[in-house]
Structure 1
Amino acid sequence: MGRILAIDYGKKRVGLAVTDPMQIIANKLTTVASHQIFDFLKEYFQKEDVEKVIIGYPMQLNNEPSEAVVYINPFLKRFQKLYPEMPVEQVDERFTSRMAFQTMIDAGLKKKDRQNKGTIDAVSATIILQSYLEQKKFR
């Protein structure tokens, strides 16, 4: 069984999270500058057995895609062109940044650490992935 990789793609940064090989728990992986994501993915896919990729797809309250999809859709197209055999699922990422910030407060992170946008992006990817795993249990 391979890992599941979650991607929280943003205009400047990409938050990444990954499951353990048994796909039980999501763990924060890292944050990468958006322009470096494909170099990172190439290297990561060579080192790790990744079975599926989950990509956060931002939706509005009315279930329409948010304006951020103008950055995500080109990324998705390029990803699928480079990795056509890799299964990809889009997951609603609504509110994950707020949830990540609150999670960091609840975990006792200092204000300085909570202001690190990269940390918020990686925690958001972890929340997206953990939510996906929990939904998968009930399918």
Structure 2
Amino acid sequence: MARLLAIDYGKKRTGIAVTDPMQIIASGLTTVATRDLTAFLQEYLGKEEVQAIILGEPKQMDYTDSELGPWLRTYALQLQELFPNVKIEREDERFTSKMAHASMLTNGLKKKQRHNKALVDEIAATIILQSYMERKR
């Protein structure tokens, strides 16, 4: 079986999470500068077998697109061209950053660690991936 990979896209940083090859456990992988995202994905997918890339889909409370929505639709098409054998899917990402902060607080991370935006993005990507996995079960 191949991994699933989730992306919590941001203007500056992008959080990335992956599953194990059996698609049982979702774990944070890293955070990359958004400008380096495509190069990172090309390198990662060159080494690891990935079944699907799940893009966090930013929506407003009324389900309309956020400002990044149209750009992410275009990026999803670019990813499909780059990786034709990988399924590109989208998953609602509303509240994932708040959930990531709550998770950090619950798990006893110190204030300084909770202000680490890269860690928040990585945890948010993990939440997106877990949500996707639960929805698909």
Common fold: TM-score over 0.5: yes
Aligned to 1:103: 103
AA aligned to 2:67 is E
In structure 1, list runs of 5 or more residues that go unmatched: none
Aligned to 2:26: 26
Superposed CA offset, 1:108-139 (max 9, x none): 111111111100000000000011111111xx
Aligned to 1:83: 83
Aligned residues: CA RMSD = 1.2
AA aligned to 2:92 is D
Structure 1 stretches (4+) deviating beyond 6 angstroms? none
Superposed CA offset, 1:36-73 (max 9, x none): 11111111001111011111001111111112225423
In structure 2, list runs of 5 or more residues that go unmatched: none
Aligned to 1:14: 14
Aligned to 1:35: 35
AA aligned to 2:124 is S
Number of equivalenced pairs = 137
Among all aligned residue pairs of Structure 1 and Structure 2, give the percentage whose two residues are the same amino acid.
53
TM-score by length of structure 1 reads: 0.93
